[in-house]
Amino acid sequence: MNLDEALHTFIAESRELLQNMEDALLRIEQSPDDEELINAIFRAAHTIKGSAGLFGLDYIVAFTHVAESVLDRVRNGELRIEGDLVAVLLSSCDHLVELIEHLAAGSGDPTAEIQEKSKAIAACLNDYLGSDAAKNTNVVLTTEPNQTCTSEGGGEVETDLWHISLRFGKDVLRNGMDPLSFIRYLSTLGDIHHIFTLLNNIPPAVEMDPESCYLGFEISFKSNADKATIEGVFEFVREDCMIRILPPRSKITDYLKLIAELPEEELRVGEMLLRCGTLTQAELDAALRLQHGDGTAAPRPLGEVLVEAQMVSSPVMEAALDKQKQVKEHKSAEANLIRVDADKLDELINLVGELIIAGAGTNLIAQRTGDADLLESTATMSRLVEEVRDSALKLRMVQIGGTFNRFQRVVRDVSKELGKDIELVISGAETELDKTVVEKIGDPLTHLVRNSMDHGIESAETRLAHGKPAKGTLKLNAFHDAGSIVIEVSDDGGGLNKQRILNKAIERGLINETDNLSDKEIYNLIFEAGFSTAETVSNLSGRGVGMDVVRRNITALRGTVNLDSVEGRSTTVRIRLPLTLAIIDGFLVGVGTSVYVIPLDMVVECIERAAWENAGGDGRYINLRGEVLPYLRLREHFEVEGEPARRENVVVVRHGERKVGLVVDRLLGEFQTVIKPLGKVFNRISGIGGFTILGSGEVALIIDVPGLMGQGVVEMERNGQNAESMRALN
């Protein structure tokens, strides 16, 4: 992997980590003592900081270090989670997103504006660290050379000098070793700034043995040598003495950086500390002996032994354990997931579509030849192609929960801006749909959520006056229904005022005063362009822009939107979308020389002419087993030339709660359909959702059932049908 690829991977992973961090921050307000959430937030910041250091992104490292320091205090119980702290951490998360996006855009070093923003947020974070801790963070939020974030603490040593603690063994002189010669040799590796001789082990004069050594030394030593080299000075007396070598503060910083830069390999803690130089092999061997003791008790964790014996400082050990956990989690995730470019998935879907079309042509040739072996072979191929199609489509299926969870932040911020207490309740988050649909549904949902909070849910005082709880509830729900996905946005607010909507619609000339509309028709008037009943304009709503955009965007996805409301109690906006925009199972019908495709999941049943001709009706609707069923003749609707077939059929289709019959000449059976979009010249044709290519090479139009149902109301008005029949269609 080259540097550019590695950087792109870092950017992608950082985006995911920051999204996870935001989700955890939004949940932690309700569960401030949830250690798992606190650790998840800390790990996200820690991972981004460590990875950024690999690429020399000091401005990201520096800023993240301050946030990490605050999170560390939370993790240690020194700070308690509360609203203001969460707000600052969310701002930090947002700013990290900004820094990552700045990096992704290839814009070079952060602008002066971004640096000022970094300093302002860091100042807010430093308020939670206290003056001393803030001073220790020593954050520099620029990209000037040699200006980086300093250590996470300094362990036991708070200077830039090595500290060597020596306790020579009693028999070192008898073994022919001179303690002072080792100290003199040590000075060849650097400068001894201070040496303190320990005399506390010297016995009374009468008990002294002239051949025994009773001295110990505490040495402050400045050197650029590494720990292993310094330890090597005392190689010949290691077995006869106790040696502790504690690194300077700057070295601890280096160790932390080296640990963060270690490759994504599953290493033991001891191996990790050996690689970064904070631990020597001799120390590791000694620690392993201490760990197992006499073998009678269960071995203690190696990290605990190393810290207790002062071989490794606590911050370094903590960083090593975090790195080990991070690698394990990453490896576990990698075992189950693989990153695939979305464009490659789209290309695969297109190729599967072409395969379906080619397969249909092969089936047609096989049927014409009548060869039994060829028919069996093509049947097997068709089955396999269908399985490949289903598998390919599943690759693009994602859970809608990721989209829903983003609104936790929207609800939190907007409710504070409005001065309302609003809770978001999410259900059906595991419901899956096509990634393309998920990407395009975000903006319409944002409009609906903000509209519900601004217009729908009342203030706490108003709610209490009407016998409601002071806290409002906004619900996001998703579920599958008849091959579609239904998304509901509902609130327990004041509902819609029908009279106000009617008055506004009459004022704008959308309807006449004499029109007799159902409740649903009245409510759906709010989706008209520029329609608004807001008495005041805010930065959230009231300008008449939004609801018409919602309907337009959803219609572009071959979906529908409708609205239900109970005045004073609730409002629910219901969006119905296809699960995928690429390939569907279709039902072929013929009208004259034209062929049409109806989405199979919307087909309820087919009725022959003899069955429905005697069922009663007035020429526009029939009595189908006691149910009023409106119907449309596709021949008339699409102005197909020629005489109707002698034996017409009715295809009963359902969309949501509505049913309608489509009168056709012929039923041609099921067909796997690759949806091709219409060109710009034809994309506004009502009742047509696209086209497909048949195995014969002919073009078949795909029926847009929801659009056809809506247009049926207009046709019935034109033909003078009564309002009751119209409502049966609607």
Strand partners, 481: 484
Question: Which range scores top for mean pLDDT: 200-214, 227-241, 668-682?
Answer: 200-214
Residue with tokens 């009617």: 502
Span of 126-135, 169-178, 196-205, 607-616 with lowest mean pLDDT: 607-616
Percentage, residues of the chain above pLDDT 90: 5
Mean pLDDT over 266-291 rounds to 72
Each residue's pLDDT tens digit, 442-492: 888 888 888 888 888 998 898 999 889 999 999 999 988 766 788 999 999
Q: What is the mean pLDDT of the chain?
A: 78
Instruction: Report residue 215's pLDDT band, with 50, 70 and 90 as the boundaries.
Output: confident
Mean pLDDT of 122-149: 55
* Strand, helix or coil for residue 274: helix
From residue 229, give the alpha-carbon distance in Å to each of 183, 199, 410, 421. Answer: 14, 28, 56, 63
Query: CATH classification of 583-729 is 3.30.160.20, yes or no?
Result: no
| Cα–Cα distance measured from residue 50 to residue 496, given in angstroms and rounded to the nearest whole number | 52
- The answer to whether residue 308 scores a pLDDT higher than 80 is no
pLDDT digits (tens, 9 = 90+) for 91-131: 899 999 999 888 888 877 788 888 888 888 888 888 888 65
Evaluated on CA atoms 400, 401, 402, 404, the torsion sign reads: positive
Give tens-digit pLDDT for 653-693.
888 778 888 989 989 888 877 777 776 666 667 778 788 88
Contact 191, 155 (CB under 8 A): no
Q: Does domain 3-137 have CATH number 1.10.3210.10?
A: no
- In this predicted structure, which of 40-44, 78-82, 713-717 has the lowest mean pLDDT? 713-717
Cα–Cα distance measured from residue 710 to residue 724, given in angstroms and rounded to the nearest whole number: 15
The whole-number pLDDT of residue 151 equals 33
Predicted TM-score (pTM) of this structure: 0.57
Residue 581's nearest CA partner among 657, 675, 650 is: 675
pLDDT of res. 155: 39
Q: pLDDT (tens digit, 9 = 90+) per residue, 589-640?
A: 999 888 999 988 888 998 886 555 544 445 577 778 888 888 888 888 888 8
Q: Could you give the residue numbers annotated as active site?
A: 46, 68, 451
Give residue 383's pLDDT. 87
Residue 508 vs residues 68, 79, 496, 712: alpha-carbon distances, Å = 56, 57, 18, 25
Q: Give the side-chain half-sphere CA count within 13 A for 320.
A: 27
What one-letter code names the amino acid at 84?
Answer: D
The pLDDT tens digits for 340-350 are 777 788 788 88
Least confident of 137-146, 368-377, 578-587, 710-719: 137-146
- The tokens describing 447, both together, are 């409009």
The CATH number given to 398-578 is 3.30.565.10
Place of tokens 């078949």: 700
pLDDT at 2 over 60: no
The residues, any chain, with a CB within 8 Å of residue 336's CB and separated by 6 or more, are none
